[in-house]
Amino acid sequence: MRRVPPRPLLPRLAGATALLAALSGCGLLSSGDGADGPALSEPLGVTAQAGSATSVHVMWNRPASTAAVEGYEVYRGRTRVKELSARQQMVDVTGLRPRTRYVFTVRARDEDGEAGPASRKVTVTTPAAVAADRSAPSRPTGLRGTADGARSVSLSWRGSDDDKGVVSYDVYQGTTKIHSVPGTQTRAVLTGMRPGTAYRFTVRARDAADNTSPPSGTVRLTTAEGADEGADTAPADFTAAVRRSGDASYIDLTWTPPDTGGEVPAYQVYVDGEQATTVVWGDSAPEGTAKYSFYIGGGSDAARHRVKIRAQLPDGTWGAFSPERRVTGRQ
């Protein structure tokens, strides 16, 4: 996880304005992106899942920066293998070798066609090829789903059978594949849905030879009206407490990541109703309890603050806020 090392902020913090000004001076709160506008940052939450012995499904989240994204470039090692529009945040890379290790990265492209920094590297190994395998997996059964608020849905199903083993499950919205999970997983969380919209989903199983099962039964879901991101997208078990170390005061945060069906790469921390910082994990985000601390001042300051956080979802949007916690600068 990347952090900005804490350094002295202000000798006394009288309230929200002073605290946020201090965080900005410490580099935790953005103070502008220059005369030419905000710069692209790297795509977040990149994952790679072997779809078969010769294909890999790569997914990623939008960059955390506010710069406009016009497209994405997917790299296998140093070779650019795909160029995609800004609307696409997943792709199947085909024509690969069985039983081979690959490294993938993704770059965002701006309005001028310039590529931003590369994402973190993700490594995946394709399974061994299966000779003369013409038998497709059985149809996934028992597909069920629920709409969580206006922008996310959860799906679950019973696993398929295959004589050589299921490598992945592909989720379809209508006739378009929109998601993929490992063959050991029979649940998916989909985000980026439109409020008040009816959807139809099916699931297909795939084996190492790229044989695809018949589609599951169809589940029909309608998202809620409004802007509710869905309670299930909020970090759970959120706590905030002040810790003293000598003359310095810190706020220690802990939480459980929401189950989004993928890795949560970033969180926004809000103090007194304003965004104070974005916490970004580099190589791997925690699957269990997550922790983060930041410096709020020293001396005898006793200011009270309100703290809450929210997670970045697989489609790059931000989920629901955690409950807000109140802390006092001196304990």
Which residues have a Cβ under 8 Å from the Cβ of 98 and sit 6 or more positions away?
53, 54, 126, 127, 128, 129, 208
Q: Return the number of other C-beta atoms located less than 10 Å from residue 254's C-beta.
A: 15
Range with the largest mean pLDDT of 22-36, 84-98, 273-287: 84-98
**Confidence check: pLDDT of 137 > 80:** yes
- In the chain, the amino acid numbered 180 is S
| Per-residue model confidence (pLDDT) at position 112 | 87
| Per-residue model confidence (pLDDT) at position 298 | 67
- In the chain, the amino acid numbered 287 is E
What confidence tens digit (pLDDT) does each residue in 274-324 have?
Answer: 998 888 775 566 778 899 998 887 655 567 889 999 998 766 678 889 999
Q: Residue 121: what are its φ and ψ, rounded to 5°?
A: -80, 135
Q: State the pTM of this model.
A: 0.67
Which residues have a Cβ under 8 Å from the Cβ of 195 and sit 6 or more positions away?
150, 151, 223, 224, 225, 226, 227, 228
Residue 151 burial (C-beta neighbours within 10 Å; 0-12, 13-18, 19+): buried
What confidence tens digit (pLDDT) does each residue in 176-185 have?
Answer: 888 888 898 8
Q: Which two tokens stand for residue 39?
A: 């710069």
End-to-end CA distance of the chain, in Å?
A: 28
Averaged confidence pLDDT in the chain: 82
Bridge-based pairing state of the strands 274-280 and 166-173: unpaired
| Confidence label for 248 from pLDDT (cuts 50, 70 and 90) | confident
